[in-house]
Amino acid sequence: MTKYYSVITGHGSYIPNRIIKNDQFIDQLFLESDGSQVKRNNQEIIDKFAEITTISERRYCEPEVGASDMAYEAALKAIASSGIDPEKLDHLIMAHNFGDVRGPHRQTDIVPSLASRVKTKLGIKNPNCVAYDIIFGCPGWLQGVIQGDYYIKSGDAKAILVIGAENLSLVSDPHDRDSMIYADGAGAFIIEQRESGEPLGIIAHASRTDAVGYSALLTMDNSYEEVQNREGSLYLKMNGRRLYQYALEHVPVAMKACLDKSGIALKDIKRILIHQANGKMDDAILERFYSIQGESEIPKDIMPMTISWLGNSSVATLPTLYDLMQSGKIDTAPVVSGDYIMFASVGAGMSINAVVYKV
């Protein structure tokens, strides 16, 4: 029986040029939440941070660059990669969490929507290309892909552009050591409708939101520094220890639910792309994902990583990772026709999602 499937036909990413290495934080004033200075010296703080997260550097955009600017650059590459006429896009879905934050005021700017701004930059005149934003924490881009899959499988759409972009460097508190994890960037997919008698493209997906008891693990709050706090800006704050515990407990379960729904055997999954939030956390998630399915052997190179040099760019990590893998820009072989891959993400809300995809 012939069905509609959602297939990735183009991909692109934007990686800022500014490289911020860990040693650039050596003279930073790090404070506790009560405003007192962290007792460890900065070298100890940096070394411990690198051990826990595996991050040695990250990318920041220039202060005048907004998320929609980066999104536009990633979208151009995805469109060129697919060869599609942008006027034939039915939806433009833009995932972010802070809008077009720009220095020095750091105010969230989301009117008009970032999707509309990107559509304008791309010069798409077709009014039937519906552009809208999605705010779903770090899993926002993957949720946009899931929404796009619903449109395509219903027959409502034939081509969709899904973008994720964030400039977390402008919403992070420089006096909070946790802020060293954050980065900037953008990634984009073109997803198109294909008719097939055999399953291909997006095979299955699963999403969940554990708001009660977990929604405050990532919030916006005051700076730890008194003078900066008086300026009135809010900054991204996280309860790192509890977030780690939440992710380790629930993400593997959500991934298993998605895999079970797909009917695909774990041994047939060629690559697993997990949101680049924390290197050690992703390793632990992967290990538990295999463990709850009775598997102790994890295939080598199944989980490519970029967090060590790109940091955590929220909604941009997954599309960027896929783009770099498929473009041969990281030391992981691209997936090819017939391969199965899994995407998974976790973030503010707290929300989790996963997708099983056949190339």
Task: Examine the domain organization and report whether 188 and 212 are in the same domain.
Answer: no
Last residue of a domain, one of 196, 227, 260: 196
Same domain for 211 and 260, yes or no, is yes
Number of independent structural domains in the chain: 2
Burial class (CB in 10 A: 0-12, 13-18, 19+), 284: middle
pLDDT at 233: 83
169, 313: one domain = no
Q: Are residues 177 and 207 in the same domain?
A: no
Q: Do residues 114 and 166 lie in contact, with contact meaning Cβ atoms separated by under 8 Å?
A: no
- The residue segments making up the domain with residue 35 are 3-196
Secondary structure string (H, E, C) spanning 232-300: CCCEEEECHHHHHHHHHHHHHHHHHHHHHHHCCCHHHEEEEEECCCCHHHHHHHHHHHHHCCCCCCCCC
Alpha helices in the chain (DSSP H): 42-53, 67-82, 114-122, 140-154, 226-230, 240-262, 279-291, 307-310, 317-326
Burial class for 143, CB neighbours closer than 10 Å (0-12, 13-18, 19+) = buried
Give the pLDDT of residue 66: 95
**Residue that finishes a domain, picked among 163, 196, 229:** 196
CATH of the domain at 166: 3.40.47.10
- Note whether 147 and 237 are same-domain residues: no
Asked if 13 and 126 sit in the same domain, the reply is yes
Judgement on whether residues 135 and 276 belong to the same structural domain of the protein: no
Structure confidence at residue 312 (pLDDT): 98
pLDDT of residue 76: 98
The answer on 248 and 327 residing in a single domain is yes
The pLDDT tens digits along the chain (359 residues) read 679 999 999 999 999 999 999 999 999 999 999 899 999 999 999 999 999 999 999 999 999 999 999 999 999 999 999 999 999 999 999 999 999 998 777 788 999 999 999 999 999 999 999 999 999 999 999 999 999 999 999 999 999 999 999 999 999 999 999 999 999 999 999 999 999 889 999 999 999 999 999 999 999 999 888 888 777 789 999 998 999 999 999 999 999 999 999 999 999 999 999 999 999 999 999 999 999 999 989 998 999 999 999 999 999 999 999 999 999 999 999 999 999 999 999 999 999 999 999 99
Cβ-based neighbours of 55, under 8 Å, separated by 6 or more: 22, 49, 180, 181, 279, 307, 308, 311, 312
Of 196, 212, 227, which one is at a domain's C-terminal end?
A: 196
Label residue 24 left, alpha or beta by phi (over 0 means left) and psi (-120 to 50 means alpha). alpha
Residues 44, 114, single domain; the answer is yes
User: Are 151 and 258 part of one and the same domain?
Assistant: no
> In this structure, are 314 and 238 located in the same domain?
yes
What global pTM score does this model have?
0.94
Residues 180 and 305 in one domain: no
pLDDT score recorded for residue 106: 74
